[in-house]
Amino acid sequence: MNNSVPNNFFSKLGRSVLAHRRLVVIVWVLLFLAGGVAAGKVVSRLSYNFATPGQPGYVASQQILRHFGNGGQNPPAIAVIAGVDNATTPTVANALTSVAQQYPSIRFVDSFNAPGLDLLQHGDEVVYLFGGPPTSLAPSTVPNQITARLSHDLPTLHVALTGEAQLASAGKSSGFGVLAETIIAGVGALAILAFVFASVLAIIPLVIAAVSILATFLILLGLSYLTSVAFVVEFLVSLIGLGIAIDYSLLIVTRWREERGNGLDNRDAILMSMATAGRSVALSGVTVAVGLLALIVLPVPLLRSTGIGGVLIPVISIAVVLTLLPVLLSLVGERLDWPHRKIAQGGSPTWHRIGTFITSHAWPSLIFAGVLIVIFALPIFGIRLGQDQAGSQSSSTPAALTYHALLRAGYMPGILSPMEVIEQPSQAAHVTSMVRSTPGIVGAAHPNGLSGTRSGLADVIAIPNVETVNSANFAPVNALDSLAQHHPSIIGVAGLGPNDLDSTNAIYGQTPLMLGIIAILTFLLLSTALRSIILAIKAVIVNLFSLAATFGILTWFWQSGHLSKLIFGIPATGAITFWIPISTFAFLFGLSMDYEVFILTRIREEYDVTKSTQTAIINGLSRTGKLVTSAALILFLAFASLASAPLTDIRVLATGLGIGILVDATIIRGIAVPALIQLFGRLNWWVPTWWPNRAPNETSGASAAPPISTPVAR
């Protein structure tokens, strides 16, 4: 063995897996095959529960579900019967009664059993179809069956369907599908890898990604028997898992080729890449896991399960990359590295020039990057939290055409988001009167029969004047909540609006705690690994600026609609769904820190050799710049593929993640980070005398660093 190979944990791990190559391959092949079987079963076990335990709207919603079996926080589908007049009214009433008897799990509320709601205007009869909780991303097919039956029973009238779920699905039940999206992203990743390696070696990272993804699905299946797993995890495991596994493989394989170019034999090159790049992979994966694991402090099961399930992605990727990848490189690495290409000993000439320019013009570079970040971040001050408003959905789908026809008929936008006020049956008339006079409520009624009273609970349906789906339109919700607080006869208020308000309060009330956990743990990890206090603090702060820019662009892109219409054909959403910013933050904080770790660990390594900050930056960028750019493009392709999903929310999440990766890999890591390191000079390498993992010859608290402005000290 070459004596230059560091004798650390990762090189020892490399020796161990190379000594047991057959066992390693057998284990991962078995997990791969089992994961292929598990992937098909996981989908049926995913949760679509947007619960906010302990919040008033959720508590009321659960009571409604227990007594009525439907409704609550689940917005109703809306069947619209057009052309109703005095002659056809009895026929319509009979048809609704007949269909309601065939679908006892659905609660029908219409102008016949709830006249106070004014659900018949200008010949358009609105029929609320309250159903149970969703069981998939696609809306329930039962409302379509009911609409078809009504169309059959009312051949002379036009029957159509709309509603929040129908509008959100954009008229489709599915997109390309997760498998197809992953394949598309994989093909794009292969093209980038082929460009980077210029050899058949490009296939190895894809093999690692395939094993990582299916192994993660296997563990995810087991996890689903212990706790609920959010539906979004299916997308994240497939596409983010693809990007992360390839990125980590790319880092190690690139270092392996570099060490082969430096003259090491295959075994020593593997061990050297494990000792250096393998250490960076482990650190990167842990930072991603920290960001996701912090989601568990939020009192929202959807986000908690997203965090728990999401943590599996980097953890499994680390395990596969640090065990199976060295074995593959030892078995087929040299044969697949064909046609051979001479490795540039100094790294990428382009990034060498970029590093030289930035370090020579540190202040102008930092100011340029700072101005861009500020411009991008400005729209964040106008961000609204909530769900997409109906106007943001495609205007050409049947659901959207039906909704706009309702608006033309005189219905208010709040027709889509009715609220339910529950009370004892003896108080129903009194509560109905109070609700009807509440500001922002345009209609209220206690439906007759089982539609309004079941199992000792009465339910008053209230229609707000606005679609209560985001923070700009919560006034009617707040008004009803205030009414409930001052009148003991009201048990609770439920509906889409109360649910969104509850979710916003539950999530963002705990955000400071989550941010604190992420910042502290990330600082401890980086400061120990990099042996630098300044670099760790800088990494955390710069990451926050990167995220601010991402959210600003996301707000401008979707909420204001400046690019959503052009790219996706979707008008301004008017708000960003409450769970998207916090999920984007958790994933992006870790993913962008990946690139920070890739760059800083190499700069630290170069500094340990040269003792020159400027030389370390230039050499570090020349070695990692192309790698980070390629890795970012691969992840971006994964998110672009994810954006083909049928739901607007998934598209918004994918857009935020994709934009964040590009902003971070270019402006932040490509310009701001090297400029800051250059300006800090020797301060970058200061650590207290008591700091763990501190080298004996490093600058300590006992010797003051020269002023930052001293160029010689850099």
Contact 691, 531 (CB under 8 A): yes
pTM above 0.85, yes or no: no
Q: Which amino acid is present at 116?
A: G
258: in domain:
yes
pLDDT tens sequence across 200-220: 888 999 999 999 999 999 999
- Give the residue-averaged pLDDT of 499-512: 84
pLDDT tens sequence across 182-202: 888 888 888 888 888 888 888
Res 704: pLDDT: 37
Percent of the chain with pLDDT over 90: 43
- Give the residue-averaged pLDDT of 361-370: 95
645: in domain:
yes
**Whole-Å CA distances, 243 to 314, 330, 638:** 10, 23, 6
Res 463: pLDDT: 95
> Quick one: pLDDT band at residue 578, thresholds 50, 70, 90?
confident
**Whole-Å CA distances, 582 to 239, 392, 506, 539, 564:** 19, 22, 12, 19, 21
CATH at 583: 1.20.1640.10
Same structural domain, 598 and 546: yes
182: in domain:
yes
Element (H, E) at 566: helix 564-568
Same structural domain, 317 and 263: yes
Domain that holds residue 544: 344-388+535-688
Same structural domain, 276 and 183: yes
Reference 426, options 492, 486, 490; nearest CA is: 490
Q: Which amino acid is present at 683?
A: L
Same structural domain, 677 and 585: yes
Same structural domain, 354 and 323: no
Q: Which amino acid is present at 680?
A: F
CA distance 497 to 513: 26
Same structural domain, 239 and 321: yes
Q: Give the dihedral of Cα atoms 281, 282, 283, 286; nearest 10 deg.
A: 120
Q: Which of 275, 307, 342 is the last residue of a domain?
A: 342
List all residues 6 or more positions away from 527 whose beta carbon is below 8 Å from its beta carbon: 533, 535, 536, 537, 687, 691
Q: How many CB atoms lie within 10 A of CB 486?
A: 9
Same structural domain, 331 and 365: no
183: in domain:
yes
Res 521: pLDDT: 85
Which of 214-218, 621-625, 687-691 reaches the highest mean pLDDT?
A: 214-218
55: in domain:
no
497: in domain:
no
Using the predicted structure, report yes or no on whether residue 706 has a pLDDT greater than 50: no
Using the predicted structure, report yes or no on whether residue 30 has a pLDDT greater than 90: yes
Inter-axis angle of helices 178-197 and 203-224, nearest 10: 150
Same structural domain, 25 and 43: yes
pLDDT tens sequence across 631-672: 888 888 888 888 877 677 888 988 999 999 999 888 998 899
Quickly tell me which residue has 């269909």 as its tokens: 99
Region for 195 from its dihedrals, namely left if φ exceeds 0, alpha if ψ lies in -120 to 50, beta otherwise: alpha
Domains contained in the chain, number: 2
Res 173: pLDDT: 43
240: in domain:
yes
Res 144: pLDDT: 93
CA distance 345 to 388: 52
Same structural domain, 330 and 372: no
543: in domain:
yes
Using the predicted structure, report yes or no on whether residue 340 has a pLDDT greater than 70: no
Same structural domain, 273 and 352: no
Same structural domain, 214 and 291: yes
Q: Which of 281, 312, 342 is the last residue of a domain?
A: 342
pLDDT tens sequence across 134-185: 776 667 889 999 999 999 999 999 999 999 888 876 544 444 567 777 888 8
Res 17: pLDDT: 95
Beta bridge partners of 81: 125, 159
- Give the residue-averaged pLDDT of 395-403: 84
Same structural domain, 622 and 557: yes
